[in-house]
Amino acid sequence: MRMPRLLLQILAATALATLLAGCNDKRDPGFQGWVEADMIFVSPDESGRVTRLNVREGDEVKQGDRLYAVDDDLQRADLNQNKATLANAQQSYDRAASLRGTGAGTQATLDSAVSALRVAEAHVVTSETRLARRNGFAPVAGTIQQIYFREGEMVPAQRPVLSIMPPGNMKLRFFVPEAELPKLAIGDTVRVTCDNCGADLTATIYFIATTAEYTPPVIYSLDERNKLVYLIQARPARPDALRVGQPISVYLNPKTPVAVKQ
């Protein structure tokens, strides 16, 4: 049984249209990456035992909030000692100034007393600073990401007690092949997708590596060049919608259809 000529023409036209649509429908496969953040680590200047912890992981803090306290017995003793030295230096200065005023003392004695007084004052200021820094305060606003030392634990000098993640410090890291680099520029907007994330996530590229992550032999073959990848970093427009360590897919053209994974 032969099909009518009109039906054959319709089927042929439909097949041709489908073929052309398939050729023009270039879907963006995207690039795989992950979410990272530049943490702010808060640590004491000197070693000591954590005596108070005012926050927990996940807490939101503002700049200047008190985070923790470390025992300050040694710092208080040092301050008291330096205050006693300052009081003696003040008495020596007052006596030298009085004798110099009556002509019984020398200028050299007065100068020495002035110098000792200034040194004693500086030592007191240093002790007060050391004592004040036994309390840790939030240098920035953000979220407590991780606590490394709890109450009762000894923390070494300059070891962080906790880390803070400011929202603006979140970043996306992904790699693109060498052939894709001409399509990228600082300030470009890319589309971001992840599991159970919103459909309108974007990020702005702020860093493009100038050195490849893979270094082939000195003589570059075409196959080796295709293996070159470059690190790209971008700042998300909505950092609150992402989590550190989360895998993501990045699409260079926000308007290009996303390839459907089988």
Tens digits of residue pLDDT in 190-227: 999 888 887 789 999 999 998 887 544 444 444 555 57
Q: What integer best gives the mean pLDDT of the chain?
A: 83
Cα three-residue angle 167-230-226, rounded to 5 degrees: 150
pLDDT at site 245: 87
Domain boundaries, given as residue ranges, for the chain: 27-38+167-251, 72-133
CATH of span 72-133: 1.10.287
Residue 177: pLDDT band (50, 70, 90) is confident
Q: Which CATH class is domain 27-38+167-251?
A: mainly beta
Buried-state track 178-204, b at ≥16 Cβ within 10 A, e below 16: eeebeebeeebebbbebeebeeebebe
Task: Provide the token pair at 110.
Answer: 């007065």
Q: What is the pLDDT of residues 92-147, one digit of tens each?
A: 999 998 888 887 778 888 889 999 999 999 999 999 999 999 999 999 999 999 99
Distance, CA of 66 to chain centre = 20
The two counts, helices (H) then strands (E), for the chain are 4, 14
Question: Would you give the DSSP letter of residue 161?
Answer: S
Q: What is the pLDDT of residue 56?
A: 95
